[in-house]
Copies of this chain bind each other. A is one copy, B any other.
Amino acid sequence: MDNRPIGVFDSGLGGLTAVREIMKLLPNEDIVYFGDTGRVPYGSRSKQTITKYTRQDIRFLTKFDCKTILVACGTASSVALPQIKGDYDFPIIGVVEGAANRACQVTRNGKIGIIGTNATIKSGSYVRLISTRPEGFFTACAACPLFVPLVENSRISVEDKILKLAIEEYLTPVKNAGVDTLILGCTHYPIIAEAISAFMGDNVTLISPGLEAARILKEMPSFTPCEEKAAKHRFFVSDDVDLFSEQASLFLGQSVEGEVELINIEEI
């Protein structure tokens, strides 16, 4: 038994899609979440800045003596994690491996689409994992830099005209490539899964990196579960608590009111 919490962070709200899955799969585990809402988005920034922010986020979570940290951000997982993982003496997992593996398992025609932020697509993180496999998978990638601003501005409805137009523009080449599986390579994207699916069609399977990461977390040999108990969750942000609380409840399906605290991530 290990009653220490699981640490989770993201640039903003997106990581909550992973938290939701952990709550389902590991309902007794305590979770400490940090959303870097004062500096979101990460995906349009440089490698150097993303790495700096990722280190600061991990440093903050280490204060809670986490047994594992989940980097619930596609950009940080793709750009920063491979380089800095070895610098820590506790397990840190990202969202890339789980989603890449699942896509390879579920594709029927061997054609896999990958969408993410500019930084994630530029890093080649998903393509590298998928193309090294013996099956000879085909991949089609598209950077979708407006998706995170759209989600953070609550433009998530399947009827939202600007969201629809952005989806059409970014995803048309991926759709035309004939993929039957699409990795939502940023944890913000599952929030607009309905709109993405409406465009891609029912025969395209969407892969949520948050869900896959929660599964990996549960199954990894170094993970020791906590005892059976009521879970305690704490949420921290680097900008307005109320704004986050309002949106977070929508994404988590439960209220976080009174559980969110503001921190100064730069001075941690």
Contacts and interface: CB of A to CB of B under 8 A. Distances in A.
Taking the full assembly, how many copies of this chain does it contain?
2
Contacts of A44: 152-153
Interface residues of A, number: 26
A146 interface: yes
Nearest to A267: B266
Contacts of A162: 146, 162, 165-166, 169
A4 B145 CA distance: 40
A161 B169 contact: yes
A161 to B, nearest CB: 6
B145 A240 contact: no
A160 to B, nearest CB: 10
Taking each of A37, A145, A161, A162, which has the highest tally of chain B beta carbons within 10 Å of its own beta carbon? A162
Interface string A141-158: 000011001101101000
Taking each of A166, A169, A239, which has the highest tally of chain B beta carbons within 10 Å of its own beta carbon? A239
Chain A to chain B: the 5 pairs with minimum beta-carbon distance, closest first: A46-B240, A149-B149, A266-B266, A49-B239, A38-B49
Given A46-B243, A49-B238, 7 more contacts: A44-B153, A45-B239, A48-B240, A145-B149, A146-B153, A161-B165, A161-B169
19 contacts: A37-B45, A38-B39, A44-B153, A45-B239, A45-B240, A46-B240, A48-B239, A48-B240, A48-B262, A145-B153, A146-B146, A146-B150, A146-B153, A146-B162, A149-B149, A161-B165, A161-B169, A162-B165, A162-B166
Interface of A: 37-39, 44-46, 48-49, 145-146, 149-150, 152-153, 155, 161-162, 165-166, 169, 238-240, 243, 262, 266
